[in-house]
Amino acid sequence: MLQVILAALGAYALIVISLFVFQRNLMYHTGSPPVPVQQSQVPQAEERFVTSSDGIEVRSWYLPPADGKPVIVVFHGNAGTIADRDFKAGPWHAAGYGVWLSGYRGFGGNAGSPTEDGLYADARAAIGALQKDGIAPSQMVLYGESLGSGIATQTAYELAKAGTPARALVLEAPFTSMGDAAQARYPYVPARFLVKDRYRNIDKIAAIDTPLFVVHGDRDRVIGQSHGRVLFAAAKEPKKALWIEGGGHTDLFDYGVGQAVIEFIEELG
């Protein structure tokens, strides 16, 4: 019996160690190759390369806005590339909004490997590039999808602390923190304490001085809607939520989220 217990403990320890060592391979799915912008649904987009503070060059796509319209800065999830979000950009740009599809290090042929600090640096480079183009933070709508909710929230937090808040923050299927999300996914290990890249949205959301829009489906099996509801409750006004009955993790645009985002921005005036 003792040998069985020791063997079970050894196997459990091996699982925990493996999850800790290989966690970034599980968190970031970087295998998708780059797609030429000419083959996307937004072939008119400009391919832009920005260099982060640590020297990593990252590819993004940019659709400039019509006069007076803000730019929606999209931070995508943990898989795929900016090319997989072209379906979001097209209708927004057709409505006159600018769209910046922000690339990440390690994704879509970009150099480097993703980490929390690294993706924050990539986001700062994107914001800096837009500012050089004359787009102030007050003209930017930060849009974070899943993993990207952590990057968008951090960016909004930094801009608010600098006294230059963004026009708005939109979070699609967000999490309270990566530790909370990991614990829900791996309940049999102390995942919350093993996570290196924490993306603690819940610690920042109340300090973001910008209108918030949260959209989340009630059938999301990747990040439960409870995460979005906790974040929404912790945030300051003005804020708005769209809790989508039947919505999963990746199909929310099938429920009209694209148009809902336009309506939210227009309500801001």
**What CATH number does residue 54 fall under?**
3.40.50.1820
One digit per residue, pLDDT tens: the chain, 269 residues?
778 787 778 888 888 888 889 999 999 999 899 999 999 999 999 999 999 999 999 999 999 999 889 999 999 999 999 999 999 999 999 999 999 999 999 999 999 999 999 999 999 999 999 999 999 999 999 999 999 999 999 999 999 999 999 999 999 999 999 999 999 999 999 999 999 999 999 999 999 989 999 999 999 999 999 999 999 999 999 999 999 999 999 999 999 999 999 999 999 98
Q: Using CA atoms, how far apart are residues 59 and 51, in angstroms rounded to an integer?
A: 9
Report the interhelical angle of 257-268 vs 86-94 (nearest 10°).
40
Residue 202's domain spans which residues?
2-268
What residue type is 166 in one-letter code?
A
Q: Using CA atoms, how far apart are residues 131 and 137, in angstroms rounded to an integer?
A: 8
Q: What is the DSSP letter of 87?
A: H
- Is residue 215 within 8 Å of 252, Cβ to Cβ? yes
Overall domain count for the chain: 1
Helix (H) or strand (E) holding 51: strand 46-51
pTM of this structure? 0.95
Match 């832009």 to its residue by tokens. Answer: 48
